[in-house]
Structure 1
Amino acid sequence: MNEPRSRWSMVAAFALLGAVTQVLWVTYAPVTDAAGRHYGVGDTAVGWLANVFPLLYVVLAIPAGIVLDRRFRGGLAAGAVLTATGAVVRIVGDTYVFALAGQLVVGVAQPLVLNAITGIAGRYLAERDRPAGIAVGSASTFAGLIVGFGLGAVFSDDIGTLLVVQAGLAVAAAVAVLSVLRTPAEHRAEVAPAGLGALRNAWGDPFIRRLCALVFVPFGVFVALSTFAQPLLEPAGVPEETAGLILVANVVAGVVGCAVVPVLAGRRGREQVVLTTSLLVTAVACVVLALVPGVVTGFVALALIGFGLLPALPIVLALTERRAGSSEGTAAGLMWLAGNLGGLVVAATVGALVGEPLLAFLLLAVLSLLTLPLLWSFNRVSRSGTVPSPTP
């Protein structure tokens, strides 16, 4: 019997929703000063409109994964509805309280959406197409960051219109996802274990645990550079506006990398080689930034880092989807949890060194190199054990 065909319409609708969650996350980042004046609050308060997202993700990553493993369509539908609801709440009242309430609702929705990347691939795509589907889903989230910053630039002086436009995007994405979810999945039919069984299965696999440890550093390095590249490059004479363009180039290169690199790596079974190369390139690029920071080196180094590091996420998620079976939602939650923790820890450490750019960039290089032995042990771990048996 032929394998059911791939439903790329589901991937397209999910990619739109995934992008929108990131647009909503960074809504106020490019318009911090304007938002502060609009709501009558300081920069710290505006910062919390974005900071609630990683904090909620750390808390909700595993529960969201368990929900998706047990009731995938219902969990993703809830994520879509909550995303649209949060975006609408922000325009119901023109105050900081409503803005924060809306961000909190979207922050709750985000794990239900992003943890579903592997589930979309496993349930709606043929096996040969799953790495490509995960790459598209992952790339869409990073593309959402670019769209979010672009909208902020366009509507920098009109916060009200900015929020209305984003609410329209969120509602459209939710409607698209709810529409395609009406058709049941045709591929994966395994039933996840009840209760915490999915978590025990996922965490019980040494390969999954090793993947969690691996994603900690690449995600953390990317978040740290995205957060502190401007102040780290400023002593080298890089203007704030130019630093912003460098960060855009970093994310654009990452989106391109996500769309291309994981697919090629998956087809040829070269994931380990690709990840090794990306970590080595990141280490070298950080050393260059430490020794000869500047506009040209900033553009080149951060573009290479984005192209190499961001594809690590879809590669790791594709490995997770193949390994975790019916517990893939929870396993994906573990990956996102590890990544967000890495972002918080590495960014906080680099933030403490923001006045010492040489030490900060060298630290990021060392962290990248220290991850290599963990990566090189993957083959031994994957051959020494199998996927844990389902927990009743």
Structure 2
Amino acid sequence: MVFLAYGLLAVATQALFVTYAPVTQDAARHFGVPVGEIGWLSQVFPLVYVLLAIPAGLALDRFLRPALVLGAVLTAAGAFLRLVADDFTWAFIGQAVAAVGQPFVLNAIPGLAVGYLAERHRAAGVAAASSATFAGMVVGYLLGACLPGEGNIRTLTFVTALVALDAGVCLVAALRLRPYAGHGSVPAAAGGAGADRALRVAFGNRHVRRLCAVAVIPMGTFIALATFVQPLLAPAGVSEPTAGLVLALTMIAGVVGCAVVPVWADRRGREVEVMGAAIAVTAMACLHLALVPSALTAFVTLLGTGFMLLPALPIGLSLSERHAPGAESTAAGLIWMAGNLGGVVLATAVGLLVTRPALAFAALLGATLLGLPALHWFRRLDRPVDPVV
């Protein structure tokens, strides 16, 4: 029950994140601003996440349910603030408020798994909850594809606000069920020492720190693609509805991948290999989009990217939960923060290159390949040390 309600809230949060991404050009005309400005309606989410990831994680490790309720309230409030006036200023204010709630929602995944699931089911629970976040992007992209045109921007904003309100109410009702063993009040592994202890447990762990390094580039690449793929494909003759459909199908592939790939990798101990394959597939997608941009290329390459890359997140969260007991949400916050920091940097760079699509995709290709040495660095921790002779 709790995981179902959480899934609805995760859907709402991510639907708000990508509300304007599949209708970038229509939104720019509707609000009377340049296309690059519309990108900030999405980019504010990773930017705020970078600032609040650690405080939100600490709050969730100490007070799981109240902090999660705060995230739900901020998400719904931000969604409705966008309706105060039909202009870019209020759209940005509402997005910013919802963005403040996002870390309290997304960082809660490992804590909910520990609090409400038996240990043998936690990897599957993390995967399912992560799937819900990507399903939210599917909802956002499908709504954009179904409501194209400058005249439907207000309707799109209203529909996503209703989704956020309903999800928030469901979560608050579900959280009346208490976690097992008092989790969410005083973390057992943290010894009741509070926020300082949780931060030391999470950041002091070498596995968590190196997972953060792994997350920066691939997750940043995906955020940049999700934000700007529509205007980048426009010069190749790909329409806004088609681009929205491509993004929606990419996210559907990601949801399917998250339901299957992390569980398979966990059972076989192949987490690192799967993440390496995801980086390689994403790099190949960027290469093909730079050389032969078209609707067909986008469909084929981005579906593969969604299926392989998005499961890397729940894999990383599951690995962090194992290595930072009692500070699961703080560790998750560090990983999400690293990925969103990569998103801020790469999306900003792509925004500057939005009129030169080939160069933008080439830049994402080069950045994505940097994830491979970071992954090798992480893998060295679990490699046995040769004895000294």
TM-score by length of 1: 0.86
Is residue 2:172 matched to residue 1:170? no
Taking a change above 3 Å as real, the CA distance of residues 292 and 28 of structure 1, as seen in their structure-2 partners, is closer
- Output the amino acid matched with 1:119: G
Distance in 2 (CA, whole Å) between partners of 1:370 and 1:154 is 37
- Output the amino acid matched with 1:166: T
Distance in 2 (CA, whole Å) between partners of 1:236 and 1:95 is 30
Match of 1:207 in 2: 207
Deviation at 1:32, TM superposition (A): 4.8
Match of 1:389 in 2: none
Taking a change above 3 Å as real, the CA distance of residues 355 and 123 of structure 1, as seen in their structure-2 partners, is same
- Output the amino acid matched with 1:190: A
Contact 1:70-1:191 at 8 Å conserved across structures: no
Is residue 2:7 matched to residue 1:15? yes
- Output the amino acid matched with 1:13: A
Q: How does 1:40-55 map to 2 (within 5 A)?
A: 43=35, 46-55=38-47
Distance in 2 (CA, whole Å) between partners of 1:88 and 1:153 is 22
Gaps of 5+ in 1: 1-8, 386-392
Q: Percent identity?
A: 54
Indicate the RMSD between aligned Cα atoms, in angstroms: 2.8
Deviation at 1:314, TM superposition (A): 0.9
Deviation at 1:42, TM superposition (A): 5.7
Deviation at 1:45, TM superposition (A): 5.4
Distance in 2 (CA, whole Å) between partners of 1:32 and 1:355 is 14
Deviation at 1:105, TM superposition (A): 2.0
Is residue 2:179 matched to residue 1:185? yes
Taking a change above 3 Å as real, the CA distance of residues 21 and 239 of structure 1, as seen in their structure-2 partners, is closer
Deviation at 1:48, TM superposition (A): 3.7
Distance in 1 (CA, whole Å) between partners of 2:153 and 2:228 is 25
Distance in 2 (CA, whole Å) between partners of 1:173 and 1:352 is 35
Q: How does 1:256-267 map to 2 (within 5 A)?
A: 256-267=256-267
Match of 1:83 in 2: 75
- Output the amino acid matched with 2:329: G
Deviation at 1:232, TM superposition (A): 4.3
Q: How does 1:315-330 map to 2 (within 5 A)?
A: 315-330=315-330
Match of 2:381 in 1: 381
| 3-state SS in 2 of match to 1:196 | helix
Is 255-264 or 242-251 further displaced after alignment?
A: 242-251
Contact 1:207-1:382 at 8 Å conserved across structures: no
- Output the amino acid matched with 2:173: S
Is 350-359 or 241-250 further displaced after alignment?
A: 350-359
Distance in 2 (CA, whole Å) between partners of 1:225 and 1:151 is 18
Match of 1:66 among 53, 58, 81: 58
Deviation at 1:174, TM superposition (A): 1.3
Taking a change above 3 Å as real, the CA distance of residues 85 and 359 of structure 1, as seen in their structure-2 partners, is closer
Gaps of 5+ in 2: none
Residue deviations 1:241-273 (CA, integer Å, cap 9, x gap): 544433333222222211211111112221011
Deviation at 1:153, TM superposition (A): 4.0
Deviation at 1:334, TM superposition (A): 0.7
Q: How does 1:170-319 map to 2 (within 5 A)?
A: 170-186=164-180, 188=183, 190=188, 192=190, 193-234=193-234, 236=236, 238-319=238-319
Is 20-29 or 191-200 further displaced after alignment?
A: 191-200
- Output the amino acid matched with 1:374: A
Taking a change above 3 Å as real, the CA distance of residues 86 and 360 of structure 1, as seen in their structure-2 partners, is closer
Is residue 2:145 matched to residue 1:147? no
Match of 1:371 in 2: 371
Taking a change above 3 Å as real, the CA distance of residues 375 and 14 of structure 1, as seen in their structure-2 partners, is same
- Output the amino acid matched with 2:47: L
Residue deviations 1:279-317 (CA, integer Å, cap 9, x gap): 222233333334444333332111111111111111101
- Output the amino acid matched with 1:165: V
Match of 2:130 in 1: 138
**Number of equivalences:** 377
Contact 1:56-1:107 at 8 Å conserved across structures: yes
Is residue 2:127 matched to residue 1:129? no
Distance in 1 (CA, whole Å) between partners of 2:206 and 2:266 is 21
Residue deviations 1:195-249 (CA, integer Å, cap 9, x gap): 4332222111111110000001111221232334345445555455544433333
Taking a change above 3 Å as real, the CA distance of residues 160 and 185 of structure 1, as seen in their structure-2 partners, is same
- Output the amino acid matched with 1:327: A
| 3-state SS in 1 of match to 2:82 | helix
Deviation at 1:159, TM superposition (A): 4.3
Distance in 1 (CA, whole Å) between partners of 2:117 and 2:336 is 22
Match of 1:106 in 2: 98
Distance in 1 (CA, whole Å) between partners of 2:173 and 2:264 is 31
Contact 2:2-2:177 at 8 Å conserved across structures: no
Taking a change above 3 Å as real, the CA distance of residues 159 and 250 of structure 1, as seen in their structure-2 partners, is closer
| 3-state SS in 2 of match to 1:336 | helix
Contact 1:18-1:140 at 8 Å conserved across structures: yes
Distance in 2 (CA, whole Å) between partners of 1:53 and 1:233 is 23
Match of 1:390 in 2: none
